[in-house]
A and B are shown apart, each in its own frame.
Chain A
Amino acid sequence: MSEGRDNGARNDVADFELARALEVASGVPDPEVPCVTVADLGILRSVTRDDAGLIVVRLTPTYSGCPAVIAIEMAVQSALLDADIEARIERVISPAWTTDWISEEGREKLRAYGIAPPVGSSGGRRAFFAEDVIACPRCGSAHTTKVSEFGSTACKAHYRCDDCAEPFDYFKCI
């Protein structure tokens, strides 16, 4: 399985049905952040065929306890069924997803939607009371305040802009 910022999804271009499966799976929106697709988020890891020739779509969870995992798997399965493509969905745990896998396009879509994309690269342990500078997705101001490290979903924190007064979600960097 490939890794990195290309989102890992791969296929064999000579195989038309497989190419279509990749296209269909890639277009499925995330149920909690519908402005981005599973491909933008990098949680669609690969679309391949197994030894028996069945299409296998591999997805990976963002957080261990992400309650949307099953919803995402079902959404991909039903999008493929609608396109008359028979496929098996597989949950991949290793390598672990990181926000580094969100594509540039995905980051722009998040910002346009009002969610600040993750800042910096994943990893590293921060000191107690240390704060990253998170720019407001509406006005771009760097004067923002963290309201809560735990926001509306496991993957987001809650912020407020001190210039335009807009409250916003921040996609946490993990």
Chain B
Amino acid sequence: MAAPETCVPAILEIADDCLILGHRLSEWCGHAPILEEELALANMGLDLLGQASALYAHAGKLEGKGRSEDDFAFLRREREYRNCLLVERRNGDFAHTMLRQLYFAAFMQPFWRTVAATSSDETLRGIAAKAEKEMAYHLRHSGEWVIRMGDGSDESAARMADAVIELHRYTGELFMASPARAAAIADGLLPDPDTLRAEWDETVATVFNAAKLELPEIRVMQKGGRDGNHGEDMGHLLAELQFMQRAYPGHTW
């Protein structure tokens, strides 16, 4: 088992990805285009919050300083969050939200499958075994919507094409290993994200092909989230996420 200084920051990166995307999906509550999607988006958000909660609890235990999952979620500053930029992107329209979900799930499903099979940490393997199956649902659900909309009406196809132009530049960060991640990879805790690129490319190509969407050529991928450099929307997101604990410190349900 690797040293806590190595594991904790690497686990927090993944936990932050799950928490922030889960929060973004929760923002759809009451605004989804149809009732079935209202349920689907809330359910997917709940899966991600559950994964985040298990990862924070595990990181807190490994760190051994008594920080709880709530401390990680509610009491850190913006710069301390290490989520990738993709997950914090604003929801935009339904096309943006579904494409963002496809990009993330197409990465996380093979990621969790590899963690479940290879991680040196038993708890992580357990979290991964469950999360992989949940992400398989997210991948199928979002992939089907990207296909329906990309190959749908002129309006839906145009919106999906806009979403690709807006979001594709944030996908490169999924495959970059921060120093914290590199140490965890060296310790056998987590897989090298770059080894998952071929499968991600294939999944996205399959969906884009069926959706009649074109892959954009992006020269420079956006990055910064793993260093704590977030976009301007992140502060607004945290203001809502953390409001209760900031206004009423230590408050419990």
Residues of A within 8 A of B (CB): 61, 63-67, 92-98, 122-123, 125-126, 128-129, 147-152, 154, 158, 172, 174
Whether the Cβ atoms of A94 and B36 lie closer than 8 Å is no
- Rounded to whole angstroms, the CA-CA distance of A138 and B48 in the bound complex is 34
A95-B129, A125-B109 known; A149+B48 contact, CB < 8 A:
no
Closest chain A residue to B131, Cβ basis: A64
The yes or no answer to B80 lying at the interface (CB within 8 A) is no
Closest Cβ–Cβ distance, residue A131 to chain B (whole Å): 11
The yes or no answer to B27 lying at the interface (CB within 8 A) is no
From DSSP, what is the main secondary structure of chain B's interface residues?
A: helix
**Count of chain A to chain B residue pairs whose CB atoms are closer than 8 Å in the complex:** 89
The yes or no answer to B234 lying at the interface (CB within 8 A) is no
Whether the Cβ atoms of A128 and B123 lie closer than 8 Å is no
Whether the Cβ atoms of B133 and A65 lie closer than 8 Å is no
Whether the Cβ atoms of A65 and B53 lie closer than 8 Å is yes
* Residue from the list A65, A151, A154, A172 in contact with B51, Cβ < 8 A: A65
Whether the Cβ atoms of B40 and A148 lie closer than 8 Å is yes
* Residue from the list A98, A129, A149, A154 in contact with B47, Cβ < 8 A: A154
* Residue from the list A67, A94, A128, A158 in contact with B144, Cβ < 8 A: A128
Q: Which one of B87-95, B134-142, B213-221 is at the interface?
A: B134-142
Count of chain B residues with a beta carbon within 8 Å of a chain A beta carbon:
39
Whether the Cβ atoms of A96 and B129 lie closer than 8 Å is yes
Q: Which residues of B contact A154 (CB under 8 A)?
A: 43, 46-47
Closest chain A residue to B40, Cβ basis: A150
Residues of B within 8 A of A (CB): 22, 36, 39-40, 42-51, 53-54, 109, 116, 122-123, 125-127, 129-131, 133-134, 136-137, 139-141, 143-144, 147, 206-207, 210
* Residue from the list B36, B122, B127, B144 in contact with A64, Cβ < 8 A: B127
- Rounded to whole angstroms, the CA-CA distance of A100 and B222 in the bound complex is 42
Q: Which residues of B contact A147 (CB under 8 A)?
A: 36
From DSSP, what is the main secondary structure of chain A's interface residues?
A: loop
- Rounded to whole angstroms, the CA-CA distance of A152 and B40 in the bound complex is 10
Whether the Cβ atoms of A94 and B125 lie closer than 8 Å is yes
Q: Which residues of B contact A174 (CB under 8 A)?
A: 130, 133-134
A128-B147, A149-B137, A154-B43 known; A65+B129 contact, CB < 8 A:
no
Q: Which residues of A contact B126 (CB under 8 A)?
A: 92-96
A96-B126, A148-B36 known; A61+B137 contact, CB < 8 A:
no
Closest chain A residue to B45, Cβ basis: A65
Closest chain A residue to B41, Cβ basis: A150
